[in-house]
Amino acid sequence: MQKLNEIASQFALDGSIESIKPLGEGFINDTFIVRTAGDAPDYILQRKNKNVFPDVPGMMQNIAKVTGHIRRRVEAEAGDVLREVLTVVPAKNGELYYEDEDGEYWAVSLFIDGTIAYDRADTPALAFKGGEGIGKFQAQLADFREPLSETIKGFHDIRHRFSQWDASVKADAAGRVKDLAEEICAVESRRERMLGFKKLVEEGVIPPRVTHNDTKISNILFDKEGNVLCVIDLDTVMLSTSLYDFGDAIRSYANSGDEDDRDLGRVSLSMPMFEAYADGFLSQRAEQLTQSEIDNLAFSALYITYEQVLRFLMDYIDGDKYYKIKYPEHNLVRTCAQLRLLESMEEQYPAMCETVKRLVEKYKTV
Ligand code: GN1
Ligand code: MG
């Protein structure tokens, strides 16, 4: 606590610190809420995971540029700049982060109060709002032209993931490969199909866009009316594709079970939730997306869910080096739950494509 206090005081905070407590369930960073006395704002303090993010200064530059851009848009529309976009609070030395004596990186942003964050979406109405929010976020960044650094190399690049995967399976660092024949086969049997999608990105058929890249529902703040107020966790904002944000959101909003459900009977793709999210997203994006993006929108959910199967299983094979885990086989449980979700998407893929087509027609004729 004393140490956290010292770290927080390195930042340009208003008001005196009253308490610092852990917040949320992030798999990567350590997050704390800093409460201050009186009317002064509260803050979010994060220790950025430097094993995951090799260039924290570059990442913080990205976040500052992107939030600056959105802030100008919100201002132009007379919105509330303190609530509708994340505000990065610099350190007293002028940097966007503070590096402590152990070489750990810390960053602070303004805490936005009176908001709701969800771990799961329970109603189609909430999924619609989430889709609308991410669609709007992408629209706000559509004219963003500044260079951004690649915070995690090849983040949604399945070709890059396969090179990591091949090395992990070969190294078998935790001696677990012998028990994973079925799961490894599930990854291998879909390799070519996934590379086929990636090729469309590599050839520019699916265009590059500045996107969030981690759009699971818990990374979105809703207001009390259920509208998306602000998109948070901007660590992975990069030049990427619009489809990855859509696919990752479907992976989380439209799963009828939990990401790490032990009861696979609960896990499936909910078509009403898929439709509602797609409806909200396309209400903001249908006019701007290219035909190739629309044609591949439904598949992006399969692609990102597959990537997540691979990433969880790879971390299990590596001996749990990347994601925080709560029990020893957590990454394997996550793998199986995401694989079940992927299978359910595969079964319903024709219906997903039909739904996208119908919704696009609705918004293009309006
Ligand atoms: C991680 O940091 P968090 O918990 O929002 C991960 C995402 C995964 C997600 C799985 C930088 O997100 O890519 O999809 O876990 N973030 C990073 O829930 O690897
Ligand atoms: Mg994240």
CA distances from 260 to 15, 336, 356 (A): 40, 8, 27
3-state secondary structure of 116: strand
Flag whether pLDDT at 307 surpasses 90. Answer: yes
* Residue 19 dihedral angles phi and psi, to the nearest 5°: -155, 155
User: Over the stretch 46-91, which tens digit does the pLDDT of each residue have?
Assistant: 999 999 999 999 999 999 999 999 999 999 999 999 999 999 999 9
Atom of ligand 1 nearest to the CA of 218: 5
- 245 within ligand 1 shell (Cβ under 6 A): no
CA of 18 to the centre of ligand 1 (A): 30
- 279 within ligand 1 shell (Cβ under 6 A): no
Specify the range with the lowest mean pLDDT, choosing from 199-203, 214-218, 356-360.
214-218
Flag whether pLDDT at 306 surpasses 60. Answer: yes
User: What value does the mean pLDDT of the chain take?
Assistant: 96
Residues whose CB is under 5 A from ligand 2 (ion)?
Answer: 214, 233
Residues whose CB is less than 8 angstroms from the CB of residue 286 and which lie 6 or more positions away in sequence, other chains included: 294, 359, 360, 363, 364
User: Over the stretch 252-290, which tens digit does the pLDDT of each residue have?
Assistant: 999 999 999 999 999 999 999 999 999 999 999 999 999
Flag whether pLDDT at 119 surpasses 90. Answer: no
Flag whether pLDDT at 1 surpasses 80. Answer: no
Atom of ligand 1 nearest to the CA of 152: 11
User: Over the stretch 283-296, which tens digit does the pLDDT of each residue have?
Assistant: 999 999 999 999 99
Residues whose CB is less than 8 angstroms from the CB of residue 253 and which lie 6 or more positions away in sequence, other chains included: 121, 126, 127, 130, 131, 217, 273, 277
Q: What is the pLDDT of residue 131?
A: 96
Bridge partner list, 93: none
CA of 93 to the centre of ligand 1 (A): 30
Task: Report residue 180's pLDDT band, with 50, 70 and 90 as the boundaries.
Answer: very high
Substitution candidate for ligand 1 out of 23, 157, 214 with most atoms within 8 A of CB: 214
CA of 306 to the centre of ligand 1 (A): 14
Flag whether pLDDT at 365 surpasses 70. Answer: no
Atom of ligand 1 nearest to the CA of 308: 14
Atom of ligand 1 nearest to the CA of 29: 2
CA distances from 314 to 108, 151, 162, 163, 307 (A): 31, 20, 10, 11, 10
Q: What is the pLDDT of residue 65?
A: 98
The first and second tokens of residue 51, run together, are 């094993």
Q: Whose CA is nearest to atom 7 of ligand 1?
A: 214
Q: Cα–chain-centroid distance for residue 105?
A: 21
What does the pLDDT average to over 307-326? 98
Flag whether pLDDT at 155 surpasses 90. Answer: yes
Q: What is the pLDDT of residue 25?
A: 81
Closest listed residue to residue 355, CA positions, set 277, 262, 285, 265: 277
Flag whether pLDDT at 366 surpasses 70. Answer: no
Q: What is the pLDDT of residue 57?
A: 97
What is the percent of the chain with per-residue pLDDT over 90, rounded to a whole number?
A: 94
Flag whether pLDDT at 201 surpasses 90. Answer: yes
Residue-wise DSSP of 223-241 = -TTS-EEEE--GGG-EEE-
- 24 within ligand 1 shell (Cβ under 6 A): no
Substitution candidate for ligand 1 out of 23, 28, 31, 164 with most atoms within 8 A of CB: 28
